[in-house]
Amino acid sequence: MTNETVLCTRCRHEIPLTQYYLDPNNGAVKKFFGKIEIEHASAFVYFNKKGIVQELIHNLKYKGHEEIGVVLGKWYVEDLKELQLKTPFDIIIPVPLHPKKFKERGYNQVASFGKALAEGLKIPYDDSVLYRTKYSKTQSKKNLLGRSENIENIFDVILKEENHNKHFLIVDDVLTTGATLEACSRALLKIEGAKISIACMAMANS
């Protein structure tokens, strides 16, 4: 309809929201228990195979529909504004693509989502701090063990004094095992005084 953008009203109502921002010990946080220290972790919606969310992510990731990330970011940022954190987020960092993958796809599928969050939270979006050192195939096609083995040490950071003691909010599309985000976090924790939080568009039901 004329007043609808990207998503129709019916689909909006059918999207399974996690409400994780209301629970400090939510399912996303539990992915990182005993692995890395994080300030906050959450995902906006649940990802179910053959559902609306899968279709949205597929169109965002492979069909060039970056406007989907904008819509989800503007929607989710209203939840993130409600968080009661000891220290607010300072910078939003996207999970980076390897330059080869970026050239193949033409864009980072989480960029529009991250930029929408940054605009809503009135903080910087910076894709120059964290980078991917190795090209790897799509993680979703690997089993848990394969992901864990292949994900280590494939991210690194550019160390700048201006980023010391910052609270980084890492954004990604779908949270599955958490291996990729754990690797990103470990790289960012090389920065003096860094604090880490995580926000994803969706979380896979398992």
Could you tell me whether strands 167-175 and 91-94 are parallel, antiparallel, or unpaired per DSSP bridges? parallel
Least confident of 40-44, 74-78, 140-144, 150-154: 140-144
Contact by Cβ (8 Å): 14, 51: no
For residues 14, 19, 21 and 25, what is the CA-based torsion angle, rounded to 10 degrees? -140
pLDDT of residue 50: 86
Count of H-run helices and E-run strands, the chain: 8, 6
**143, pLDDT greater than 80:** no
Residue 9 has pLDDT above 80, yes or no: no
- H or E element in which residue 125 lies: none
Q: Shortest CA distance to 43 belongs to which of 11, 71, 21? A: 21
Q: What does DSSP assign to residue 98? A: P
pLDDT value at residue 150:
61
Q: Which of these, 13, 24, 18, lies nearest to 202 by C-alpha position?
A: 18
**pLDDT tens digits for range 101-124:** 999 999 999 999 999 999 999 999
- The pLDDT of residue 146 is 45
Higher local confidence (pLDDT), 90 or 2: 90
Do the beta carbons of residue 128 and residue 163 sit within 8 Å? no
